[in-house]
Copies of this chain bind each other. A is one copy, B any other.
């Protein structure tokens, strides 16, 4: 655990089959005006919307609705939501949905009273919040982003062909989140599997850096082993509570700042995937899976020892009689087999990307320090080409 850092995570999590019961208590801490944020309306079909509305009504709240949040929330939607929140003097933003709905709600919470253009301030200039923040609570219905216990928020600007994430401080983290694994049962398999790889990618982005001995890496390995085991159960039996609950819990701890402590990170798979997403509007987790194998095979020579450790500790590869490079490559091959077996998209062509987009996707890919290799623009394009 080299370096200095602060850990602070004030989000209160209510987990389990009965966890929605906690909402009635939680809302007592806030004023009358609740902005109810959700996506395409699936929560009306599965009855979660009705349960939430009843709890809010029984608690004497005025409900201001803001539905229709898209899978990749747009900057235009953000401007609308911020206006709704301000005009209605909202006391609590309640996000009911997946990561997009939570991300969007956090963006609204810091934009309603922002005197600047929030897109420019937060997503282009990456400035801190300097205005009043509206508290956010979440009822999670889709698993993967970890948005329920962190300050992350990703917004897409289609005009500018940019999809950018800002990581806000702990004053923007959800005050509480309700995590009921059963609420994720009705999700289509494509979305479930994309979420599983989103979790895996979050862990990998933090794991693949550094050469020191760091407790965070051991925790990361444990989380990956749990995720892999449960994913194999869940793809065959989506209503297996044990598997779905482990996946939900792993998602939260994969990206709530814990396993990044003492680590540098470059988030390069996300940089690649988000740029693919800006061009294709594809499901986030699938943009990550589609570029991962080309990316990891490309950086393996720069972090061979860590990739070999990954092979042994996560995938059970025996290192006996092998070079570190051989062990490392076997680990990536094992990961690739697992990815295919659970039904992930393995190339960006299947997501709608084509060769003529590569220059644009390349130029929209941020290049960060912190991993085993700082990519050049040429390498970015080569990785994308190998991902076609």
**Which residues of A approach B to under 8 Å, CB–CB?**
1-10, 12-19, 22, 181, 212-215, 217-223, 225-226, 229-230, 233, 241-243, 245-246, 248-250, 253, 258, 261-262
* Contact A249 to B215, CB < 8 A, known contacts A2-B242, A220-B222, A222-B221: yes
Number of copies: 2
A89 and B243 alpha carbons, distance in the complex (Å) = 51
Q: A2-B241, A6-B22 are in contact. Are A246 and B215 (CB under 8 A)?
A: yes
A8-B13 CB under 8 A given contacts A213-B242, A246-B215: yes
The 3 A-B pairs with the shortest beta carbon distances in the complex, nearest first, are: A4-B16, A222-B222, A218-B222
30 sample A-B contacts, Cβ–Cβ < 8 Å, listed by A number: A1-B15, A1-B16, A1-B181, A1-B245, A2-B242, A3-B16, A4-B15, A4-B16, A4-B17, A5-B16, A6-B12, A6-B13, A6-B14, A6-B15, A7-B15, A8-B13, A213-B230, A213-B233, A213-B243, A213-B246, A214-B246, A215-B222, A218-B225, A218-B226, A219-B222, A219-B223, A219-B226, A220-B222, A221-B222, A249-B262
Contact partner of A249 among B22, B241, B261, CB < 8 A? B261
A10: nearest chain-B partner, CB-CB? B10
What residues of B have a CB within 8 angstroms of the CB of A212 in the complex? 242
Beyond A1-B242, A212-B242, A215-B246, 11 extra complex contacts between A and B, CB < 8 Å: A1-B249, A5-B16, A6-B22, A7-B13, A9-B9, A213-B230, A214-B246, A215-B230, A219-B226, A245-B262, A253-B258
Contact B253 A1 (CB under 8 A): no
Question: A213 with B241: in contact, given A222-B221, A261-B15 (CB under 8 Å)?
Answer: no
A181 to B2, CA, bound (A): 10
**In this complex, what residue of B is CB-closest to A213?**
B242
Please, how many angstroms separate the alpha-carbon atoms of A218 and B181 in the complex?
A: 19
CB distance from A218 to the nearest CB of B (A): 4
Chain B nearest Cβ from A229, distance in angstroms: 6
Contact residues in B for A13 (Cβ distance below 8 Å): 6-8
Cα–Cα, bound, A1→B240 (Å): 12
- Cα A261 to Cα B179 in complex, Å, equals 13
Please measure, in the bound complex, the distance between the C-alpha atom of A10 and the C-alpha atom of B175, giving whole angstroms: 11
Contact B223 A215 (CB under 8 A): yes
Residues B215 and A226 in contact, CB atoms below 8 Å apart: yes
Bound-state CA distance A22–B241 (Å) is 43
Check A1 against B223 for contact (C-beta < 8 Å): no
Q: How far is the CB of A183 from chain B (nearest CB, A)?
A: 14
Complex contacts, A249 vs chain B, CB 8 Å: 1, 215, 261-262
Residue of B nearest to A177 (CB): B7
Least CB distance, A3 to chain B, in whole angstroms:
6
**Is A229 in contact with B245, judged by CB distance below 8 angstroms?**
no
Give the docked Cα–Cα distance between A7 and B10 (Å): 10
CA distance A250 to B214 in the complex (A): 10
Known pairs A2-B245, A212-B242; A253 contacts B219 (CB<8 A) = yes
